A = this chain, B = another copy of it.
Amino acid sequence: MTRGVRGAGPTMHDVAAAASVSHQTVSRVLNDHPSVRPETRQRVLAEIERLGYRRNPAARSLVTRRSRAIGVLAPEVTQHGATSSVQAVESAARAAGYFTLVTTAAVERSAARAALGFLLDQGVEGLVVVAPHAEIEAAVSELVVPLPVVALQSARAGRLDWVGVDQELGARMATEHLLALGHTRVAHVSGPAGYFEAEARRRGWSSALAAAGLEPAGVVEGDWTARSGEAAAAALDPDVTAVVCANDQTAIGLVAGLRRQGRRVPTDLSVVGFDDVPEAAYVDPPLTTVRQDFRLVGERALARLLAAIDGVQAPAEDDVLRPTLVVRESGAPPRPR
């Protein structure tokens, strides 16, 4: 790489000439090699500054056989969660002297495959993949290239190295909160099929009910959007008194749908969300939800990836984070019949 098309900047050779040393000495100054006299170092540094010299990363990569690039594959959504995690990966990588190539792709195998090929073409040293869906996980697992990979928002028991929040536990906590309020008919508006987190949250909901000796009160499949939550309002069993939603958007949509039916939350029906998006505290009613630390997930994922790149084996079981329940006002005891 050099300075764009036209503005080819000074090379190490130019700096060397200006400082009356060899280009190798300039290299040593830049790499903090001990064998440089302080005054020589100063002179070189001064010329670097004066000429505005920057090392050519391409030439460096070529000889060091290191790209210092980390590929990130993310689904093409603007969800708060994925966005936060990806940003955390990026800043942690930068702090560690790497840069990230973030590529988005549709949640679909061939798109993911193409995106991964693109990242591989750029010579990345490792991959962080937001793999919320089986199709993306499959595209990653197909990769024959022996590259360190860490998955996010993926299946805990999958084939890939994994960092994430215990989704099942989160959904169980949300459900237990409703049970503690006295609800016995608790339904679920799920995420779409094929999404690991959707499945884990559904398991959490049903296992909490099973543990309490209750029958699940039906599942309506949503697609993470508020629109699907709104539509779910019409599909709910009439005797349901509480609903665990797959995420906050769905919960916000469900509340809107119920309102259009003339039913109030939490008076007529209790609703809990998942994620704790920034708006959750300000909608009507303020949403009781499950918070996850998305930035921490991103940081841990990068730490794990760097360990793998350096050939260090990271501890396996210590990257399952616990979510927390945030109780606000969208849950209340069921109306007496």
Contacts and interface: CB of A to CB of B under 8 A. Distances in A.
Interface of A: 1-9, 52, 54-62, 65-67, 69, 76, 78, 80, 83-84, 87, 90-91, 94, 99-104, 118, 120-126, 144-148, 225-227, 229-230, 249, 252-253, 255-256, 259, 278-279, 281-284, 286, 309-311
B309 A282 contact: no
A1 B122 contact: yes
A5 B66 contact: yes
When all copies of this chain in the complex are counted, the total is 2
Contacts of A126: 4
B278 A225 contact: yes
A4 B282 contact: no
Nearest to A84: B78
Contact of A3 (B9, B145, B249, B284): B145
Contacts of A78: 78, 80, 83-84, 87
A242 B83 CA distance: 34
Contacts of A281: 226
16 contacts: A1-B58, A1-B69, A1-B123, A2-B67, A4-B125, A5-B125, A57-B123, A58-B67, A59-B62, A78-B87, A83-B83, A226-B279, A252-B283, A255-B282, A259-B284, A279-B283
